[in-house]
Amino acid sequence: MDRVALRGLKARGHHGVFPREREEGQTFIVDLVLHIDTRPAAADDDLAKTVHYGVVAEEVVAVVEGEPVDLIETLAERIAQQCLKHEAVAQVEVVVHKPDAPITVPFDDVTITITRSRA
């Protein structure tokens, strides 16, 4: 499979288990790797035979900005399922970054990485 990567998608969400996270929200950053076969699209130079990464980016931001969840694991799963709705996407790797996580010690980032495929 070939890969289309989107890195650093940013959106404000209200995800987390603490009331402050739900009320104030915070920035989440998402990286995606979409596994697709690009040969049909390349052969015909046809966008309809691949995945429109601009549309995927908008959909992912909508998921992050949408209904709050407690866990970034749940958020990552929702993002993966949205990506797999695109026929060309056979597998997706999702990384959700939570750089403003409520941790009491110095840190750079908190991430979850999941990989999902079509069933």
pLDDT at 119 over 80: no
Q: What is the DSSP string of 48-108?
A: GGS--HHHHHHHHHHHHHSS--S-HHHHHHHHHHHHTTSTT-SEEEEEEE-TT---SS--S
Q: What are the residues facing 32 on neighbouring strands? A: 6, 94
Sole residue written with tokens 């999941």: 114
Express each pLDDT in 18-70 by its tens digit: 999 999 999 999 999 999 999 999 999 999 999 999 999 999 999 999 999 99
Catalytic residue, candidates 10, 49, 85, 98: 98
Confidence of residue 107 (pLDDT cuts 50, 70, 90): very high
Active site includes 98?
Answer: yes
Query: What pTM was estimated for this model as a whole?
Result: 0.96
pLDDT at 98 over 90: yes
Confidence of residue 114 (pLDDT cuts 50, 70, 90): very high
Q: What does the block give as tokens for 108?
A: 């750079």
Confidence of residue 80 (pLDDT cuts 50, 70, 90): very high
Confidence of residue 76 (pLDDT cuts 50, 70, 90): very high
